[in-house]
């Protein structure tokens, strides 16, 4: 941006000549062409560094000095034009947008209804030579046009034909966008704002895929279904909101409203961490950007006060019901922000809202997940006898506080570590989340805290707080209904952890039936999919019934979208990512396998059940711990580690069946030496009774290695 900021002065003959300039001259020519100018040595040095990084490394591919001159001139003019065009939102600058639209329509001859979203100056690489031109992004196509030195280049790619879209770099291209379509590779580089361009391309490509595979949802989206509503600003705003909600595990309905760079005081470390404060309708969130891995989520329902703190440092102090004060400093326009947040929190603290938030996590209580007693009774009404209010593990495996063996002592030590963390970093939805939090998760969450922390890290606690009484109403409406989904649920009920005592009784089976039937009623597009029963069974072991329902919602609708439907598109996409990771990190395994689809077929259950279907239950729950904290990344990392552990045996396998046997024996050998679960429960979770000759592997070591 700095380079282009001075280029207008270069072309303006009436402007004052800057004291520092960068000139380009072709050898044997008397003509100097001005590239950039600056008012100081520092400014011109920044321009020079930009040219070195983005332009000079490319010039070696040209055969003649004249070609270099033409390319540099075209590149600089393109950057000037792009900087001048600003945001191509039709309503803001109709003249400039109309000019770009006319070029787009004239060059490509696409259907009249094709909507141009925006366009960028860039270089398209044809072989080893870059061609300067314009990249046009429309609702259905990616198009490029260049006319340089008498050569015309025209490229049109449909978004739904793109098989790979990524940012990449190599020796010649410092940073470029790689597009693969119908087996052909296309590279675009030298963007003024490559991240912005890539974000929009990603959005448009994703929408094209959704239109193909999820037509009903796409048509119900009023904005995406009508191309006239799709704008550059709208797409960017939508992308940022989706990233915001996914990162902080917030309800999908949350829209990112404001972002402020600032510092957050971290009291237990006694330092200010730099990052961004992100504000939506119902949440104030912060994520550090200085490597400290610190994040905070503050629901407005928990806020009791917003004040100006230390005006000299532009400070904002936010107090919560848990008697915690979060202090942000160096906040731009902090006075206006305080005023806006006070209005927001005033609305969030209305009498009706206070009643609704009593089901939320509260730092004041000993257990942040305990529901307010009065609210719980009111919400359950006549269904109090049917909806279970206890996690099944507390019923079928109560802890004996008096008889503590070595494993129970270790479990108590884990609990103590978490209690110390809660004292230092807060307890509940607004706790500080840091590297220490993640380290404790990797070690395995204690049995007594597992349900509470799953609810917290998945964001399900926020869904439950926003919808008091919703689950009970769903149970009342859904029980007794007869659909294809309910028939499939009934068929699979007794196949879910069948040897665990909790699911050998009507208590566990009935709770599982209610949760699965209620979810199928809530989301008929998904309804019920095999593997949901296995996952929900484990959720019910550690979470109360309503909590298990909201955990299932978080998994199916946010954390693993498009996994649990007829096409399992989400799982197939992540398996393609998994195959690519294998190619990069385990190339010898890739070379050995004649067909990479083997990994997809063998790992499908890993993704759909979070390894619950292949690991003993006492080990699988540790994987679920990491999944709720890190998301699908935890499953991908563990999958790679499993293959790496067995790579020598896999390389000696003669066929797929032998490789499957190797992996099954490995999974049977995975143990959890610190698990306090009784042997009957542990043995009941093993899928194979065959004695394994594989050396025992502890799940904690396996997970720790996958994180290195």
**Burial group, residue 253, by CB count within 10 angstroms (0-12, 13-18, 19+):** exposed
Q: Which residue from 625, 637, 524 is spatially nearest to 578, judged by alpha carbons? A: 637
CA distance 231 to 237: 10
Mean pLDDT of 67-87: 60
The per-residue pLDDT for 368 is 45
CA distance 191 to 130: 13
- Cβ density class 262-275: b for 16+ within 10 Å, e for less: bbbbbeeeeebbeb
Find the range with the poorest average confidence among 81-90, 137-146, 257-266, 507-516. Answer: 81-90
The per-residue pLDDT for 613 is 92
Residues in the chain, total: 708
- Evaluate if residue 313 carries a pLDDT over 50: yes
**Contact at 8 Å (CB) between 134 and 120?**
yes
Structure tokens at 120: 């960028």
The per-residue pLDDT for 238 is 84
Which residue do the tokens 């209305």 mark? 350
Mean pLDDT of 540-568: 92
CA distance 324 to 307: 13
Neighbouring C-beta atoms of residue 82, cutoff 10 Å: 19
- Dihedral sign, Cα of residue 426, residue 429, residue 435, residue 436: positive
Mean pLDDT of 456-483: 93
- Evaluate if residue 87 carries a pLDDT over 70: no
Mean pLDDT of 20-45: 72
CA 575 from chain centre, in angstroms, equals 16
CA distance 565 to 569: 8
Three-class SS state of 53: helix
Q: What would you report as the CA-atom Rg of the chain, rounded to the nearest whole angstrom?
A: 29
Confidence of residue 295 (pLDDT cuts 50, 70, 90): very high
CA distance 552 to 515: 9
41-45, 102-106, 373-377, range with greatest mean pLDDT = 102-106
CA distance 635 to 560: 11
pLDDT in tens, 231-252: 778 888 888 898 999 999 999 8
Find the range with the poorest average confidence among 164-178, 293-307, 368-382, 680-694. Answer: 368-382
- Evaluate if residue 94 carries a pLDDT over 70: no
CA distance 338 to 315: 9
Structure tokens at 473: 């109403």
Mean pLDDT of 576-591: 90
CA distance 376 to 629: 28
Do the strands 670-671 and 697-698 form a parallel or antiparallel pair, or are they unpaired?
parallel
Mean pLDDT of 689-706: 80
Q: Which residue from 628, 449, 557, 498 is spatially nearest to 620, judged by alpha carbons? A: 628
Confidence of residue 477 (pLDDT cuts 50, 70, 90): very high
Contacts for 90 with CB less than 8 Å, ≥ 6 apart: 97, 231
Which residue do the tokens 């790689």 mark? 178
HSE value, Cβ hemisphere, 13 Å, CA-based, for 398: 5
The per-residue pLDDT for 614 is 93
* DSSP assignments along 196-231, one per residue: HHHHHHHHHHHHHHHHHH-HHHHHH-HHHHSGGG--
pLDDT in tens, 606-663: 999 999 999 999 999 999 999 999 999 999 999 999 999 999 999 998 888 899 999 9
pLDDT in tens, 415-468: 999 999 999 999 999 999 999 999 999 999 999 999 999 999 999 999 999 999
**Contact at 8 Å (CB) between 275 and 288?**
yes
CA distance 24 to 26: 7
**Helical segments of 262-333, H only:** none
**Contact at 8 Å (CB) between 200 and 118?**
yes
- Evaluate if residue 89 carries a pLDDT over 80: no
Q: Which residue from 570, 632, 576, 572 is spatially nearest to 210, judged by alpha carbons? A: 570
**Contact at 8 Å (CB) between 330 and 475?**
no
pLDDT in tens, 190-220: 888 888 899 899 989 988 877 776 666 666 6
CA distance 391 to 662: 35
Find the range with the poorest average confidence among 4-13, 260-269, 408-417, 596-605. Answer: 4-13
pLDDT in tens, 506-529: 999 999 999 999 999 999 988 999
- Evaluate if residue 413 carries a pLDDT over 90: yes
- Evaluate if residue 677 carries a pLDDT over 50: yes
Which residue do the tokens 């704002």 mark? 193
CA distance 575 to 639: 10
Confidence of residue 13 (pLDDT cuts 50, 70, 90): very low
HSE value, Cβ hemisphere, 13 Å, CA-based, for 240: 16
The per-residue pLDDT for 354 is 34
The per-residue pLDDT for 234 is 80
Do the strands 176-181 and 184-189 form a parallel or antiparallel pair, or are they unpaired?
antiparallel
**Contact at 8 Å (CB) between 363 and 427?**
yes
Confidence of residue 337 (pLDDT cuts 50, 70, 90): very high
**Contact at 8 Å (CB) between 429 and 462?**
yes
Mean pLDDT of 41-58: 79
> What percent of the chain clears pLDDT 70, i.e. is strictly above it?
79
CA distance 250 to 58: 44
pLDDT in tens, 345-363: 874 443 333 333 333 333 4
CA distance 482 to 646: 46
Average pLDDT of every residue of the chain: 81
The per-residue pLDDT for 18 is 61
pLDDT in tens, 161-197: 998 899 988 756 668 999 999 989 999 988 888 888 9
The per-residue pLDDT for 306 is 92
The per-residue pLDDT for 393 is 83
Q: What is the DSSP letter of 667?
A: H
**What is the three-state SS of 121-143?**
EEEEEECCEEEEEEEEEECCEEE
Domains in the chain with CATH codes = 1-85 (no CATH), 88-165+178-248 (2.30.29.30), 258-349 (2.30.29.30), 358-554 (1.10.8.270), 567-708 (1.10.472.80)
CA 36 from chain centre, in angstroms, equals 40
**Contact at 8 Å (CB) between 155 and 107?**
no
Find the range with the poorest average confidence among 339-343, 359-363, 468-472, 687-691. Answer: 359-363
Structure tokens at 82: 């792009």
């Amino acid at each position: 941006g700095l380079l282009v900021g001075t280029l207008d002065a270069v072309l303006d003959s009436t402007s004052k000549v800057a004291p520092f300039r960068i000139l380009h001259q072709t050898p044997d020519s008397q003509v100097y062409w001005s590239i950039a100018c600056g008012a100081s040595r520092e400014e011109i040095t920044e321009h020079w560094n930009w040219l070195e990084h983005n332009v000079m490394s490319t010039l070696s591919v040209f055969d003649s000095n004249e070609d270099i001159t033409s390319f540099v001139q075209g590149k600089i003019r393109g950057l000037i034009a792009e900087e001048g065009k600003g945001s191509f939102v039709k309503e803001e600058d109709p003249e400039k947008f109309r000019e770009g639209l006319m070029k787009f329509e004239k060059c490509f001859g696409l259907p009249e209804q094709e909507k141009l979203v925006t366009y960028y100056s860039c270089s398209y690489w044809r072989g080893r030579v870059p061609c300067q031109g314009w990249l046009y992004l429309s609702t259905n196509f990616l198009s490029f046009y260049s006319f340089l030195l008498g050569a015309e280049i025209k490229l049109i790619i449909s978004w739904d034909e793109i098989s790979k879209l990524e940012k990449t770099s190599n020796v010649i291209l410092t940073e470029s966008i790689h597009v693969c379509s119908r087996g052909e590779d296309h590279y675009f580089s030298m963007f003024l704002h490559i991240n912005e361009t890539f974000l929009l391309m990603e959005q448009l490509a994703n929408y094209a895929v959704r239109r193909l595979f999820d037509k009903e949802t796409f048509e119900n989206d009023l904005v995406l279904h009508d191309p006239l509503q799709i704008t550059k600003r709208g797409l960017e705003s939508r992308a940022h909101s989706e990233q915001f909600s996914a990162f902080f595990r917030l309800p999908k309905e949350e829209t990112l409203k404001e972002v402020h760079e600032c510092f957050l005081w971290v009291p237990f470390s006694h330092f200010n961490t730099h990052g961004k404060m992100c504000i939506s309708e119902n949440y104030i969130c912060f994520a550090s950007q200085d490597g400290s891995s610190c994040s905070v989520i503050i629901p407005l329902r928990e806020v009791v006060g917003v004040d100006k703190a230390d005006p000299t440092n532009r400070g904002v102090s936010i107090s919560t019901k848990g008697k915690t004060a979060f202090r942000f400093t160096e906040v731009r326009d902090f006075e206006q922000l305080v005023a806006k947040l006070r209005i927001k929190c005033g609305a969030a603290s209305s009498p009706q809202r206070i009643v609704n938030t009593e089901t939320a996590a509260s730092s004041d209580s000993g257990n942040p997940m305990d529901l307010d007693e009065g609210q719980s009774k009111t919400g359950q009404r006549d269904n109090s006898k049917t909806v279970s209010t206890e996690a099944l593990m507390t019923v079928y495996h109560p802890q004996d506080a008096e008889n503590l063996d070595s494993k129970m002592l270790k479990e108590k030590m884990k609990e103590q570590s978490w209690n110390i963390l809660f004292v230092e970093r807060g307890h509940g939805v607004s706790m500080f989340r840091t590297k220490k939090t993640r380290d404790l998760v990797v070690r395995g969450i204690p049995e007594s805290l597992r349900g509470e922390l799953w609810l917290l890290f998945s964001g399900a606690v926020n869904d439950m707080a926003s919808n008091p009484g919703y689950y009970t109403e769903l149970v009342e409406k859904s029980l007794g209904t007869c659909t294809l989904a309910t028939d499939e649920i009934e068929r699979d009920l007794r196949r879910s952890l069948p040897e665990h005592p909790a699911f050998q009784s009507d208590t566990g089976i009935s709770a599982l039936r209610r949760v699965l039937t209620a979810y199928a009623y809530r989301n008929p597009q998904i309804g019920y999919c095999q593997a949901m029963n296995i996952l929900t069974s484990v959720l019910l072991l550690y979470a109360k019934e309503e909590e298990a329902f909201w955990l299932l919602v978080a998994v199916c609708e946010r954390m693993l979208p498009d996994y649990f439907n007829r096409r399992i598109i989400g799982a197939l996409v992540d398996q393609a990512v998994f195959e690519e990771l294998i190619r990069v990190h385990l190339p010898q395994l890739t070379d050995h396998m004649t067909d990479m689809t083997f990994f997809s077929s063998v790992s499908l259950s890993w993704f759909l059940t979070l390894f619950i279907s292949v690991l003993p239950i006492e080990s699988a729950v540790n994987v679920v711990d990491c999944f709720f904290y890190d998301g699908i990344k935890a499953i991908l990392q563990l999958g790679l580690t499993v293959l790496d552990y067995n790579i020598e045996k896999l390389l000696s396998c003669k066929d797929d069946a032998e490789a499957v046997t190797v992996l099954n024996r490995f999974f049977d050998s995975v143990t959890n030496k610190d698990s306090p679960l009784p042997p009957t429960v542990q043995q009941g979770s093993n899928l194979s009774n065959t004695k394994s000759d594989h050396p025992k592997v502890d799940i904690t070591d396996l997970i720790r290695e996958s994180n290195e």
